[in-house]
Amino acid sequence: MKKAIIIGASSGIGRELAKILYHNDYVLGLAARRYELLTQLQNELSADHDANPCLRRIDISNQEEAMRQLTELINEMGSVDLIVISSGTGYLNKELDWSKEKATIDVNVSGVTAMINISLRHFMEKNSGHLVVISSIAALRGSGDCPAYNASKAYISNYLEGIRYRLKKDRNKSTITITDIRPGLVDTEMAKGEGLFWVQPPQKAARQIYKKIRQKKEVAYITKRWRIIALILKFIRST
């Protein structure tokens, strides 16, 4: 059986993706800051199957501790095939409140990068694996309403591209897949602001993400219609 870890499994896309993987016979490790929500998810999943997912409280805003906890979870599971990083935060911050900007950078940049680092080291040791990171279509443009959030997503997408190039130069690591998932608006705590459109339920987003995981896509926009917006944003950026 394949083994997967989802970081950020307590709510939203991570929670729905955990359900899909579990019902497709993955042995799961679930991690998040809100441990009580993980136990609720564990109880929900265990009602349908005998196997209990492994749980770990990981707060990626504390990078050193989070790296240690992820390493321990991987060791407890005895190697994993797939790691999904779905953790993130963001604020509407027109006033440029530093505490909000810093919190976004601590999680979306430093925290996610720390989780990528541990994940890649594990996959490079075994010369195989699949890393999936939930970025955002926001990576394509800056935002006056939430500048740190969009910038943090641009960083992650660029970082993943660099890692992908690094691995392709090493033939021994060519079996490691790096997938950058860029959702549009999803009906989660992260969807903020007025006049939102094409807001998708997390269940639908998770189903499409699972499909892209199976296809081992390098970059995927979720849902499909958001590819149109991505093309428009890229065109605007180039003019």
> How high is the pLDDT of residue 140?
82
178 beta partners: 131
pLDDT at 48: 62
Q: What are 153-203's pLDDT values in tens digits?
A: 999 999 999 999 999 888 766 789 999 999 987 666 554 445 455 568 889
Q: At what angle do helices 112-126 and 147-168 cross, to 10 degrees?
A: 10
In this prediction, residue 192 carries a pLDDT of 47
Q: Which residue in this structure is represented by tokens 């136990």?
A: 39
Residues whose CB is less than 8 angstroms from the CB of residue 234 and which lie 6 or more positions away in sequence, other chains included: 140
Best CA proximity match to 62, nearest among 114, 22, 116, 8 = 114
- Residues in the chain where the model's pLDDT stays below 70: 47-50, 172-173, 186-199, 223-239
- The model carries a pTM of 0.89
pLDDT value of residue 199? 67
User: Residue 156 sits in a domain of what CATH number?
Assistant: 3.40.50.720
DSSP 200: B
The confidence score (pLDDT) of residue 232 equals 60
Q: Structural domain tally of the chain? A: 1
CA nearest to 57, candidates 10, 118, 114: 10
pLDDT of the residue at 145: 87
**For residues 134 and 181, is the Cβ–Cβ distance under 8 A?**
yes
Q: Which residue type does 63 have? A: Q
Enclosing domain of residue 225: 3-238
pLDDT at position 106: 97
pLDDT for res 235: 59
107-145 b/e (C-beta count within 10 Å ≥ 16 → b): bbbbbbbbbbebbbebbeeeeebbbbbbbbbbbbeebee
Measured N-to-C along each axis, helices 112-126 and 63-77 cross at an angle, to the nearest 10 degrees, of 30
